[in-house]
Amino acid sequence: MALSEGVVKKIVLSYTYVAIWIFLSFTVIVYNKYILDRKMYNWPYPISLTMIHMAFCSSIAYLLVRVFKVVEPVSMSRDLYLRSVVPIGALYSLSLWFSNSAYIYLSVSFIQMLKALMPVAVYSIGVLLKKDGFRSDTMANMVSISVGVAIAAYGEARFDSWGVTLQLGAVAFEATRLVMIQILLTSKGITLNPITSLYYVAPCCLFFLSVPWFVVEYPLLSETSSFHFDFLIFGTNSVAAFALNLAALKGKEAQKKAQPDEEAGRLLEDREGDGAGRKNESQT
């Protein structure tokens, strides 16, 4: 017996979200590279670009939650917000800042290769924070991935040590954020959908980014009298970033829902197969 029609639909839907996420991820990566690279659009202000994204995401999420009431906000006390959401927002701001900064120094292909270290970082930090148990076979796989990335990095023509440091820092902060979500939110029964995630996290991320922005980029921008805000470039870039955040969160949500149904369907199939086998044995 094949999987039920409902299970198949959920599985197809989850993979559709993943496909959309891959397309949007590629679009945002190339778009950010185009804006930040000095040889292209020549606007090398990664903190400012990230703040534009977070301001746009915060505004749209606020409208969807508070004005149009598309989704209901999560019941969350101020103390819970400060202890659970704020640390995640801080880690997310650092991850985005460092990741976008790397586009100034490294090629897109090399950055994507370094991002392959994400499973290694997530597992290592999970073990360090006692969220995951240490397994020698899993660690062996992680080491093999690291060695492969190191070999590829050695042959990179456009190698920049500062850019690599920034990207590895982004990977470390993002991996820590993913583990902390499990510790600070999921373990406490707090579930945020894609819109409420942006509603709570994006403003916090914007606040944390404003601190280094005033020190690092604001003095440079204030001296650039020729700069005019390009609504077409930054507007479409922000829309793409917002869509990417929704697709990424929605894809993870759909996969979590589809996986238990898929396992249940297979278990039912196995039980029916066992039952049919026993029936044949009794008939013989």
CA neighbor of 249 nearest in space, from 207, 192, 211, 199:
192
**7 and 40 part of one domain:** yes
- 70-95 per-residue burial string, b: 16 or more CB within 10 A, e: under 16: eeeebeeeeeeeeebbbbbbbbbbbb
Other Cβ atoms within 10 Å of 98 Cβ, number: 21
Other Cβ atoms within 10 Å of 276 Cβ, number: 11
Q: What is the mean pLDDT of residues 246-266?
A: 57
**70 and 165 part of one domain:** yes
Q: Which two tokens stand for residue 92?
A: 């997310």
Q: Tell whether 133 is covered by a domain.
A: yes
Q: Tell whether 52 is covered by a domain.
A: yes
**17 and 53 part of one domain:** no
**158 and 201 part of one domain:** yes
Write down the pLDDT at residue 265.
45
**58 and 28 part of one domain:** no
Cα 282 from chain centroid? 54
**22 and 131 part of one domain:** no
Cα 200 from chain centroid? 15
218-247: pLDDT as tens digits:
999 988 766 788 999 999 999 999 999 888
Cα 80 from chain centroid? 23
Q: Say whether 44 sits in a helix, a strand or coil.
A: coil
**51 and 144 part of one domain:** yes
Cα–Cα distance for residue pair 117/196, rounded to 1 Å: 29
237 with 35: CB under 8 angstroms? yes
Residue 85 has pLDDT above 90, yes or no: yes
113 with 153: CB under 8 angstroms? yes
Write down the pLDDT at residue 258.
46
247 with 17: CB under 8 angstroms? yes
Write down the pLDDT at residue 269.
46
Q: Tell whether 256 is covered by a domain.
A: no
Q: What is the mean pLDDT of residues 5-24?
A: 84
Q: What is the mean pLDDT of residues 130-157?
A: 82
**39 and 125 part of one domain:** no
Cα–Cα distance for residue pair 126/145, rounded to 1 Å: 17
CA neighbor of 175 nearest in space, from 110, 260, 246, 115:
115
How many structural domains are present in the chain?
A: 2
Q: What is the mean pLDDT of residues 4-12?
A: 79
Q: Which residues, 6+ apart, have CB-to-CB distance to 195 below 8 Å? A: 61, 64, 65, 70, 71, 246
The CA dihedral of 133, 139, 142, 144, to the nearest 10 degrees, is -170
**137 and 38 part of one domain:** no
Q: Tell whether 276 is covered by a domain.
A: no
Domain end (from 205, 225, 245): 225
Write down the pLDDT at residue 1.
47
194 with 250: CB under 8 angstroms? yes
Range of weakest confidence among 78-82, 143-147, 270-274: 270-274
Cα–Cα distance for residue pair 236/226, rounded to 1 Å: 22
Write down the pLDDT at residue 252.
60
**37 and 112 part of one domain:** no
Q: Tell whether 176 is covered by a domain.
A: yes
Cα–Cα distance for residue pair 181/105, rounded to 1 Å: 30
Q: Which amino acid is at 172?
A: A
Its sign, for the CA torsion 95, 97, 100, 106, is negative
Residue 255 has pLDDT above 60, yes or no: no
158-206: pLDDT as tens digits:
778 999 999 999 999 999 999 999 999 988 888 888 899 999 999 999 9
**104 and 120 part of one domain:** yes
Write down the pLDDT at residue 127.
92
**109 and 161 part of one domain:** yes
Domain end (from 190, 209, 225): 225
Range of the structural domain that residue 177 is part of? 45-225
